[in-house]
Structures are given as C-alpha cells and as structure tokens.
Amino acid sequence: MSDSDPFDEIVAAETDRDPDLAVIEAGSRTLRTQGGQPQADVPARPEDPELDRALREVEAELATRWGETKLEPSVSRISALMDVLGEPQRSYPSIHITGTNGKTSTARMIEALLGAFELRTGRYTSPHVQSITERISLDGAPISAERFIETYQDIKPYVEMVDGQQEYRLSFFEVLTGMAYAAFADAPVDVAVVEVGMGGSWDATNVIDGDVAVITPIDLDHTDRLGETPAAIAGEKSGIIKQDATVILAQQPVDAAQVLLKKAVEVDATVAREGLEFGVVARQVAVGGQLLTLRGLGGEYDEVYLPLHGPYQAHNAAVALAAVEAFFGVGSQRPESLDIDTVRKAFASVTSPGRLEVVRRSPTVVLDAAHNPAGARATAEAVGEAFDFSRLIGVVGASGDKNVRGLLEAFEPLFAEVVVTQNSSHRAMDADELAAIAVEVFGEDRVQVEPRLPDALEAAITLAEEEGEFAGGGVLVTGSVITVGEARLLLGRG
C-alpha cells in the first residue's frame, strides 16, 4: 500500500453511500479544517435514614405521573414549565444528543472533555442504572440526594401550577427535565450536555437550542412511536437540529442520513460527518480498553487511551471529540486542534457504568445494558474482541416493548447457554414468555428459566464455574438497563 493518508482510506471505504446524497450535501455546509474531571461511580442509597426517606418520598411523588413510555407528543407542557421558571435553559449553551444507541456513553465522553478544559458542566441522561440522581450531574458527578430533593421542592409549586393549566399533568420525564434545567441554571454551569429521552422533535428536552446537535447511529427502536424505518425515525430525531447549529453526524443508514442532511440544509446548519470530516483512524485493543488514533475537525489525535471496550465505543469517542471541537469553534473560528494532552487525560478518565462493565472475577461477570438488536450486535462484537471466554453464559431480562427476538438472535452465537429472567419493573417481559422465544432461538437444551434475578445470577455463575477456575467461563448480564442496575446492586456495586 502507498503512504496515503489513513483517513483517505476511511473515506474510500465508505462504499454504502448513496450518490443521491451529493445533491443534498451540495446545499449544506461541511466542517473540516486543515483527563479530565473524575467520573463518579453510580451512587448508592443515602446512608442517613431521614435523607433516604425524603428521597423515597420524592420518588414516590414522581411515580404518580406518567411513566417514560406513556407520551403525549408535544412540548407544550415543558414549555409552560420553562416559562414560569423564567426560561432557565436559556442561561447556558448546550450540546444536545439524540440517536438510537450510544447516547449516554457519548454524553459522558463529551462531559469529560469539557471538564478537562476547565468548563463547569451539567449532564442530563436517562434512564438511570441504579439511582434516580444519576440523571442529573454537575461537574462530572451525580447531584447529591440533598440537592435532588431541594431542586424538586423548589420547582414543585410551579409544576403544580402548570398541571392545573394543561389538559394532562406533566409527566415523570418532563418534571425531571425541568429539574435538570433548573439545577444547571442554579449551579450555574458553563455548558449543558443533554441526552434526549426519546426521539427529538417532541422530546421534553427539546426546549433548548443546542449550539451543537449530535446524532449517534440510528437504528430501529421505539418503532411504535418513532416510525418503522430509519428514515422515519431520523425525521423525528432531526428535530433537535436548530437554526445555524453545528451537526455532528455519526455513521448512519443512507436513508437516515438523507433525512438528517435535508433538515440541516433547511436550517442552514453546518454538518460534520463521521467517515468524512472526522472519524476513527486506527484502534488497537489494550489492557482494560483500547488505544485510538482519532481524526478530529482540527487534525489528528494519536495515542488516546479509552478505558472502554468495543469498536462502537471508539466511534462514540470520535463523535464526542468532534462535538467538543465544534463547541470550541474548531473548524470555524479557530484552525488549530485541541490540546492533545488534555484530550488524552479526559478520555483516560471516562467511565460508563453498565456498559461492558466487569463487576466480578472468577468467574468474570460483565454487565451491559444492550436492549435492542443493534445494541446487542455491538455488544456481542465487543465481547468477542475484549474477552477471551471459552464459555459464556447469558443472563437476559428484557422489557416487553422491545424486539426481544432480534436481541436474542444477536447473542445466540455468543452464548453457550442463556438464563432468562425478569427484573422488577412493570415493563419487564414475563420470564416464561421470554423463555418461549429463547427456546426458538437457542433450542431447549440451552435455555434455563429463573424468574427471580438473584436465582438467575446464581444459576449462571454456577454454569460458568463448571468450566473450572482457570478455564475462562464468564457471565454476561444484559437485555435492559433495569436488569443491569438490579444485577449491579446484587453483585455488590453501589
């Protein structure tokens, strides 16, 4: 091979791009120029009984509202709440993130990078792994239980005022979004990193005008609400692209890319596309993660250590880097790249609980919150690359509204056996119903049913130990963020 630029090889490898995209891209502007704060782990319940009681009271009040899967698609209620609160979301710039998979990990990487450059950050993500306070972070750490309670009590009178004026009460997610925006204004933060709950246009978070809009890979999920094709889903998610914003576009299905680029043209947004303006130049597996060379909007960043596993996390890192470069004006106001040592320090500090997280050894138990087929395929690839299991046992507890068959099919080549179970959520698929699908995918001999998660974990660990102490057996717990969070508690994390 000649000494061609490795990034040119990435561009040349983009064989799936539709020539019709050129028409759309001709009308859009593209962007390319010639350690950070420590991430806190998932918080446990408060040790103070009175504080724990007060937090449980807030959680109970929030639980009386519509859950996150019951939606009335509009931003009218959250807009009314922002109005009576004095528009707190307008008091800081923001980076808005949507997509199907990778949003939370990407948000955590963006947060780490911004913090490393000495900006005060607020991060809003969902769902939580163990504690509701995880959803709202300041300076890289979830807010304290005390601050969570205070924020709720501060906005509660305004929430009740809006409830009385609207056809429907504010939902659980809308109230939490209001709390996050108020907490960020009160801090105050220099920049907010905000992950959508679902979709984009009518998501409660979409009362901000993100200076940077990030679209992680789009795939089929929530099809009953967002659409049954990547293009339809992209149409909904494109709603976060605002006038004159910068759009950081992860690799997308062609039909989704067409929709997103068309929206960018309509609002005169600047676009940077993975595989063209930025991307992963090289990656190699390293102890505890991977070593990356990333091409950003302002140049190349080499020897970047990321303590997370899997090709998809490398792509998330490229997207996060481009988003932060765009936020700082790299590629538009300033030609030089970001300080390489600061970038390395930031990425080396990143954690993502419940995303290929090792919580036990002998046998190794790994937690991963994959909950749809695309996420499961990415997880299966990453497990095969990062771990040398001679025999892997799956523990799967899924939600009833997901494509469970597709998820199980993605894991079928990886799991020697699977233990199906259910978590405590009302959304959990019944273990016997899940088992019936698993038998069709894996065959009866490879499926075990344990409705209680503690029993499922014990059964899977016993199966993995049958290989012997040094034989390389392991357990992967997956299927739902809730399943992973409950397993994390049972296994002594948090």
Q: What is the pLDDT of residues 49-93, one digit of tens each?
A: 999 999 999 999 999 998 766 667 789 999 999 999 999 999 999
Instruction: Name the amino acid, one letter, at 254.
Output: V
DSSP 446: G
**Residues 6 or more apart in contact with residue 437 via CB below 8 angstroms:** 404, 405, 408
| Angle of helix 49-63 versus helix 172-186 axis, rounded to 10 | 130
Report if pTM > 0.85: yes
Return the pLDDT at 5: 55
Question: What whole-number distance in Å separates Cα of residue 331 and Cα of residue 372?
Answer: 35
pLDDT at 302: 97
448, β-bridge pairs: 419
Pseudo-torsion of CA 63, 67, 72, 75, nearest 10°?
Answer: 70
CB of 382 closer than 8 Å to CB of 407: no
Its sign, for the CA torsion 175, 212, 141, 423, is positive
Give yes or no for a contact between 322 and 272, defined as CB atoms under 8 angstroms apart: yes
CB 494 within 8 A of CB 43: yes
Q: Output the pLDDT for position 63.
A: 92
Task: Report the alpha-carbon distance of residue 133 to residue 124 in Å, rounded.
Answer: 10
pLDDT value of position 68: 65
Sequence-ordered list of residues with C-beta below 8 angstroms from that of 49, at least 6 positions apart, any chain? none
How many Cβ atoms sit within 10 Å of the Cβ of residue 23? 12
User: Quick check: 121 and 109 in contact, CB under 8 A?
Assistant: no
pLDDT < 70 positions in the chain: 1-41, 68-71, 220-228, 467-471, 493-494
Nearest alpha carbon to residue 298 among 274, 277, 267: 277
DSSP 8-state secondary structure symbol assigned to residue 240: G
Separation in Å, CA 131 to CA 169, 328, 406: 24, 32, 29
| Cα atoms in the Cβ-side hemisphere of radius 13 Å centred on 286 | 15
